[in-house]
Structure 1
């Protein structure tokens, strides 16, 4: 059976998404959608869906509409996230609510959500429609659950690591896992294999998010693609911060809390001081060990999927390449 690499699939799905006729009247609703989807990104979720499908079937173009659906949904969440976070930039370009206005961001985001469900239904084989839509709608709702937890954590001082891991499972992992499972279901996978790929996606998603937390402190800006210390400056409740608060002695914790409360500070000094506390607690190794734990558990689950090992190589290579950004 012909297997395609992630690069080949990325090129194809990118061209397919670019060719979609998103834009029609009224332009004020659809131009922002074309703008958001034209910003690019890694197209991680559609590629994972296509790689999962390709474990079982060759004709990947048969599910391009479903792959476009998962990418449209993902970008809808980014559009609304940017609005809620009052973010000015996304992938180096002004966010929709900055380029247009807040009402446009709300309504264009709503239209993207509806379009994602249309694309998911389009050409979906009748025998799989119910299962696919069940996975997709449940996943979409769970992402909202995760976003709500994330917002509530902003005003809480007592967030635990377990609560944080559950939040990122919902906000990040379930969409990766859902993409993989939908690809597997459409490829005719057994229930067991589809679930294994879902569970694999959950573990890999947790590893990805923890890696982002880690790289925000210890990454190389040139490799990571964004400035270091952003999470520290906005007191974001990450694995790093929560673990540091849990593991510090009283004096160190008090010092960290002073920085969290500080309103007048030099950004570079805050980043340096908080990073020094993270180093003192041994966070670099704690976080890397946790990342490796989730990554290896994911790979163990992938090994259990009942297809030839050589068929899984493109999927495991793709995930490995994403994990090697700067660790």
Structure 2
């Protein structure tokens, strides 16, 4: 069974050698441009990894893996337009390099190509694979809408937050693994547990992201630490703090949430409150719980015929990362 790095190289070679179309140039050039920006390609590589874990060669899952990557990049094009983001991985975003109309249409075409690639599986699993992919695709749209809705709400609950991060991020990890497992020959339980592994690991990953945003090393994290605090983003840390702060702590927290000028002081003060209120410890406990659920799902995969060594190593890498 190949390791993550070998599968990464296999996938990159496959997608970089693919011509998705040439004319009209303004429709297809953004495809090749955003795919050329790189990234770790973790989602499609997980599809290949799950396929091999259940006993088939990764090459068998290359087409659906390409579909997963095309969908992910389609969502990035549209997210960047909604956020009016100027940069993606240090380069101009598609709508900045071309314009928003081209970005929308090119993204739409990329979504169609994603479905075409996802459909390149054996007939006996085609309907199931399409259903898994379509469910994840719709949930990602729902998660994005909840994330936008939360910007104007101060009463977001932890359950709502967890559902939002799972829909925005975790469901595509789960779908990538479930599709790869099914292509690789997994039975019903093995495929579903591969999904559960991705769902719970992705949830732990996002909670870790909240912690790193506030407390990570900016040189390793690669972006400004405290960005979520600066924008009053409804992270698990803030949700817990709002629910559990009392008396003077609550008044101080509210004062800093209303602050619009002393931003650097705000970041340090809110981080201190997160520690004092117990929000940091709580977030770490929730992250640990989802990580354990992911490992439990992995053990079920093993019980249903999977070689889980590389998936377990991947989980440990995500869990212990510091950036």
The alignment's TM-score, normalised by the length of structure 1, stands at: 0.94
The residue matched to 2:54 in structure 1 has which SS?
coil
Deviation of 1:291 after TM superposition, in Å, equals 0.8
Query: Is 2:281 the counterpart of 1:285?
Result: yes
Could you say which residue in structure 1 is the equivalent of 2:79?
Answer: 81
Deviates more, 1:249-258 or 1:165-174: 249-258
1:65 aligned to 54, 63, 66, which one?
A: 63
Query: Is 2:172 the counterpart of 1:170?
Result: no
Q: Gapped runs of 5+ residues in structure 2? A: none
CA contact (8 A) 2:201 2:294 kept: yes
CA contact (8 A) 1:224 1:325 kept: no
What pairs with 1:256-271 in structure 2 (closer than 5 Å)? 256-265=253-262, 267-271=263-267
Aligned residues: 323
What pairs with 1:188-267 in structure 2 (closer than 5 Å)? 188-265=185-262, 267=263
Deviates more, 1:241-250 or 1:132-141: 241-250
Deviation of 1:307 after TM superposition, in Å, equals 5.2
Q: How many angstroms apart in 2 are the aligned matches of 1:247 and 1:216?
A: 21
The residue matched to 1:304 in structure 2 has which SS?
helix
CA contact (8 A) 1:169 1:205 kept: yes
Q: Which whole-Å deviations, capped at 9, do the CAs of 1:260-282 have from their partners, x for residues lacking one?
A: 222333x3222112111112112
The residue matched to 2:38 in structure 1 has which SS?
coil
Deviation of 1:95 after TM superposition, in Å, equals 1.5
CA contact (8 A) 2:54 2:306 kept: no
Could you say which residue in structure 2 is the equivalent of 1:299?
Answer: 295
Q: How many angstroms apart in 1 are the aligned matches of 2:254 and 2:103?
A: 35
Deviation of 1:309 after TM superposition, in Å, equals 8.6
Could you say which residue in structure 1 is the equivalent of 2:114?
Answer: 116
Q: How many angstroms apart in 1 are the aligned matches of 2:250 and 2:296?
A: 37
The residue matched to 2:308 in structure 1 has which SS?
helix
Deviation of 1:185 after TM superposition, in Å, equals 1.0
Could you say which residue in structure 2 is the equivalent of 1:312?
Answer: 308
